Amino acid sequence: MAKSDKQTTDDPSTGKSKTGLYIAGAVAAAAIVGGLIYYNGQDRARDPNAPKEDPEVAALMEEGPLPDIVVGNANAPNTIVEYASMTCSHCAHFHTDVFPEVKQKYIDTGKANYVLREFPLDGLAAAAFMLARCAGADRYYPMVGGLFETQKTWAVPGDEGKQKLLLIAKQAGFSQEQFDKCLDDKELFEKIVAVRQRASDKFGVDSTPTFFVNGKRLDGGYEIENFEAAIEGGGADETPPPSG
């Protein structure tokens, strides 16, 4: 597991960002700082070398602290669940370079649906997810996509990150008042923390991005070939539709 003095740590051996949290001063509400301290401590107690078991599909797809926002046919025979952080560079790569292929080949054809769940690695990532949720269900994925596309411009430490995030939020239609109100929403923040904690405690998620295809952890990478192998390999008949 990554050291806690970095925002995200890219692990070349896995192609993922390991969870290593630091308290970013860019987040408005004091409750957010407290929450980050809480789940940082919880994750550190987990043995990073412990073997990971695939969760039961029913447990993975149970309704969580926040409703799932599904892309594609909710009754599709395959379900892809991603846990991501908005400040994770590997997550940005997936969403800008790989997800369009996955969507075209599997989601748009009705073969799979997709759900993104929040797993923020730092305060700025939590704030970005809060803005996406505040944008509403219909605008959640456009907001997420825009933030990943522009990640290099706003995912910077300190107050500068928050100010750059504000500029992007204004381009998406937020006013200053709406921006501040969203980031001051303690209940929303606590639900995002709960989504992250549930993923860590119940499903063994400790890095981003982490994918589950029909309940099975996607290992070996997250390029289109990995999704092809997982989906076309079968075993999707018993996958229930996602909740929410």
Query: What is the distance between the alpha carbons of residues 49 and 184, in angstroms, rounded to a whole number?
Result: 37
Whether residue 216 is contained in a domain is answered as: yes
Q: How confident is the prediction along the chain (244 residues), in pLDDT tens digits per residue?
A: 333 333 333 443 344 554 433 323 333 333 343 334 334 444 444 566 666 789 999 999 999 999 999 999 999 999 999 999 999 999 999 999 999 999 999 999 999 999 999 999 999 999 999 999 999 999 999 999 999 999 999 999 888 999 999 999 999 999 999 999 999 999 999 999 999 999 999 999 999 999 999 999 998 899 999 999 999 985 444 444 444 3
Whether residue 2 is contained in a domain is answered as: no
Going by C-alpha positions, the residue among 41, 89, 59, 48 that lies closest to residue 206 is 48
pLDDT tens for 15-59 read 455 443 332 333 333 334 333 433 444 444 456 666 678 999 999
Whether residue 240 is contained in a domain is answered as: no
Whether residue 137 is contained in a domain is answered as: yes
**Residue 134 CB partners (closer than 8 Å, separation 6+):** 174, 178, 182, 185, 188
Query: What is the distance between the alpha carbons of residues 209 and 16, in angstroms, rounded to a whole number?
Result: 6
pLDDT of res. 22: 31
pLDDT of res. 157: 86
Strand partners for 212: 81, 217
**Residue 115 CB partners (closer than 8 Å, separation 6+):** 68, 69, 70, 71, 79, 80, 81, 82, 242
**Residue 235 CB partners (closer than 8 Å, separation 6+):** 214, 216
Query: What is the distance between the alpha carbons of residues 106 and 179, in angstroms, rounded to a whole number?
Result: 35
Alpha-carbon dihedral sign for residues 116, 117, 120, 124: positive
Whether the bond into 67 is cis, omega within 30 of 0: no
Q: Could you list the residue range(s) of the whole structural domain that residue 211 is in?
A: 9-232
Whether residue 59 is contained in a domain is answered as: yes
Asked whether the whole model's pTM tops 0.85, one would answer no
pLDDT of res. 53: 86
Whether residue 3 is contained in a domain is answered as: no
Q: Which amino acid does the sequence have at 69?
A: I
Contact 91, 17 (CB under 8 A): yes
Contact 45, 226 (CB under 8 A): no
Alpha-carbon dihedral sign for residues 227, 229, 235, 237: positive
Query: What is the distance between the alpha carbons of residues 140 and 132, in angstroms, rounded to a whole number?
Result: 5
pLDDT of res. 16: 59
Whether residue 130 is contained in a domain is answered as: yes
Q: What is the CATH number of the domain that holds 83?
A: 3.40.30.10
pLDDT above 70 as % of the chain: 75
Whether residue 244 is contained in a domain is answered as: no
pLDDT of res. 216: 96
CA-CA-CA-CA dihedral for 238, 71, 15, 121, to nearest 10: -110
| Domain total in the chain | 1
